[in-house]
Structure formats: C-alpha cells, structure tokens
Amino acid sequence: MSAHPMNAFPTNASVLIDQVTKIYGARAALTEVNLHLDPGQCVALVGHNGAGKSTLIKLMLGLIRPTHGQVRLLGEDPAGAHAARLRRAVGYLPENLAFHPSLTGQETLDFYARLKNVARAGNTDLLARVGLEAEAARRRVGTYSKGMRQRLGLAQALLGQPKVLFLDEPTTGLDPALRQVFYEIVQELRAAGVTVLLSSHALTELEGQTDRIIVMNRGVKIADGTLADLRHLADLPVRIQATGAPAGAVADALGTLGQVSTNGHAVECRCAGGDKVAVLRRLTNLPLADIAVMEPSLDELYAHFLRREQAA
C-alpha cells in the first residue's frame, strides 16, 4: 500500500479526494482527481462552468458518490453511515441558492438551526454579522434581493461553527461592499482553523484572499499550489513599466535580459520572472520618473494553464 497516493497526503487533512472519477451517463465530470484540504486553509477552486467544481463539492458533501476512487471528509466517508454526524461540522453555500419563499429570513435561519441542533439564541447575532438587519430578517425571503439571499445563505452556512465550509460561487453577482464583508468573514474563519473551499470564476478578486489555488479544466485538475507556486510554474514574463527614459536607452541598458516596447508615454519591458531583480537594478541606473512592476495576474495564470492544457 506504500505506493498508494493517499499516503502522500497529510493524515490530518479535512478533505481528501483520492483518485476520484465521476461519470454521469457517458460523460466524465471528473477524471482521476487527487487533492486534499487542510485545517485553517482557504483554498480557491477555479475553472470554467462545467469544469467540475460543483461536482467536486457535492462529492465532498456526500450528496453524490464517486464512480471510482474515494472521498474522505474529516476522516470519514461523507456518503457513509456517519454522514449525518459529519454534516453537523460542515457548512455549505450552494451555487444556485434557493430558500422557501414563504418563510421570513429569521424563520429560515431558525429552521436550519433546528435541523443542525444549534441553539437559536445566536441567530440574531449571526444575521447581524452577515449584515441582515432586524427589519430585513422579519420579511419573507421571497421579497429578498440577490445580495440579501446570499447574506442569508452565508449565515446558514456559518451555523454551528463548522470545521469545513464549502462556498460554491459565493460572490457571483454581489456588490463590492458585500464581497468585502464576505472575505472578512472568510479570513476570520481561516484564522480560527476552519477549512474554507471557495469556488469561483471571478479570479482577480481571489488574489490575496486564498492560501492555495486549484485549477480545474474539463474534470481534470491542471494546477494546484500557492499563487507564488503557480507563478513560478507558469514562468510567465513579468512586465515592468518605466517612464522618464527613452525606449532606446532602456533597451541598451537591458541588453538580452528583456524585450522593450512603448506603451503610450511609458516604456514596457518584459522579462522572465527570474531576471526581474537584475532588470530592476539596471533600470534604476537610468534617470526614471516612475517605475511599476506588474506580476502576471491570476487571470493570466489561469489562461496560461488552460492554453498549456489545450496544447498538450
């Protein structure tokens, strides 16, 4: 069993996905996926629609079973005999969130608290924490805006202090203020040792919010690591914009280290990530007015990994 991939994972992982394949009819939604999520980690699951993000989350929740391979949630089978007990320690915000429209916000949260056997005394505070005021909580969910429903959705996911939190496209269609609230809460949870899995296709907003990024494409995991890891792996050119010096002077200073082009009144240099410091050192010898270093964004990294996948 020593060659078994599971042994490569830390034993205290909150979630393990081991050689999992999921087939619907004739279509493979996931193909031999391996991954693990650790306590206190905020992981972003990134990919197009149909890349397999929601399928992965449903497998981790035990809503569906893998065709091959195995899934472990807090060390146990999430679709097994202890599923009910396991789910007490889990929070879930589905992608297409729907509530019963005839119940009020407060009643909805009370209903879910009862199901999770959580004291309802804390519900008012929980609603306040996600920014639903008392007046809104007394209204029927049918009258809620998308943002308010999403706030209520986050509140129910936080019931009973979960150890693992699955947030499927949590910020899609939310205003920037609410996104801020969202990520603040996620950071607090992460600090408290909660495992947070965020799926998203809005990549730019994930920068700086997550410890790790897993990139999915058509049911296959194509990248997994920290943002720095992924940058290193992709080895995309760093762009440096300099103003105040003519393009010719910059090109002379860099020599073979980078390519130079003009971008408006600025000079743009592209160089390999490893040459970044050397290039900066040479540039600073020139009489520059300003300098800006642009690392490849998450969007660019994602596009790169997709391109690499298609070329393969």
Q: Which residues bind another protein (CB under 8 A)?
A: 24, 58, 61, 63-64, 83-85, 87-88, 90, 92, 94, 96-100, 102-103, 107, 111-112, 114-117, 156, 166
Least separation, in Å, of the C-beta of 56 and another protein?
14
Least separation, in Å, of the C-beta of 122 and another protein?
17
Which residues have C-beta within 8 Å of that of residue 254, sequence separation ≥ 6? 260, 269, 271, 279, 282, 283
User: How many Å apart are CA 89 and CA 195, to the nearest integer?
Assistant: 11
Other C-beta atoms closer than 10 Å to the C-beta of 163 total 19
Nearer to another protein, 48 or 100 (CB): 100
User: How many Å apart are CA 296 and CA 235, to the nearest integer?
Assistant: 9
Least separation, in Å, of the C-beta of 16 and another protein?
19
Least separation, in Å, of the C-beta of 59 and another protein?
11
Nearer to another protein, 171 or 209 (CB): 171
User: How many Å apart are CA 64 and CA 279, to the nearest integer?
Assistant: 52
Least separation, in Å, of the C-beta of 185 and another protein?
19
Backbone angles phi, psi at 253, to 5 degrees: -65, -35
Least separation, in Å, of the C-beta of 211 and another protein?
24
Nearer to another protein, 115 or 293 (CB): 115
Nearer to another protein, 99 or 182 (CB): 99
Nearer to another protein, 7 or 117 (CB): 117
Q: b/e map of 148-162 (b: 16 or more CB within 10 Å)? A: bbbbbbbbbbbbbeb
CA distances from 229 to 14, 224, 226, 232 (A): 22, 8, 5, 5
Q: Which is nearest to 52 in space by CA: 79, 78, 27, 15?
A: 27
Nearer to another protein, 116 or 282 (CB): 116
Question: In 38-140, where does DSSP find H-type helix?
Answer: 53-61, 83-87, 105-115, 123-129, 134-137
- DSSP-assigned letter for residue 80: S
Least separation, in Å, of the C-beta of 80 and another protein?
12
- Contact at 8 Å (CB) between 90 and 162? yes
Nearer to another protein, 65 or 201 (CB): 65
